[in-house]
Amino acid sequence: MMPRPLYFGFTILLALQLVACDPLLSIQGSFWPPWIVCMVVGVALTVVASQLFYWMKLDPYLGHPLLIYTSLWALFTFATWLLGYAE
């Protein structure tokens, strides 16, 4: 059990973390943070790219799939953020 002042301070710290969670996008009436949208777009583009690699028969030559597709996901996610939301 944590001491009462430490527990109170921890609660205040967590509450202050939530101040930065400002929903910016309204998708069909529901507010979403833009980073979630960028992550979903990154996943969708990675799936499209993997299908394209399979169709072009490049899949066996790419290397370790976990490394390749995780890197592609990060690339597409960050590119979506930079193209859509960076000022």
| Domain contains 71 | yes
Q: Residue 50 has which token pair?
A: 């993997």
| pLDDT for position 20 | 58
| Domain contains 35 | yes
| pLDDT for position 18 | 59
Residue 31 CA to its chain's centroid (Å): 16
| pLDDT for position 1 | 59
| Domain contains 27 | yes
| Domain contains 64 | yes
Angstrom CA distances, 82 to 5, 11, 25, 44, 79, stand at 42, 34, 16, 17, 5
| pLDDT for position 76 | 96
Range of the domain at 58: 23-84
| Domain contains 5 | no
Tens digit of pLDDT at every position of the chain (87 positions):
566 667 677 777 766 665 555 556 666 766 777 888 889 999 999 999 999 999 999 988 988 989 999 999 999 999 998 998 776
CA separation for the pair 36, 84 (Å, rounded): 13
Residues 9, 34, 31, CA angle at the centre, nearest 5°?
A: 80
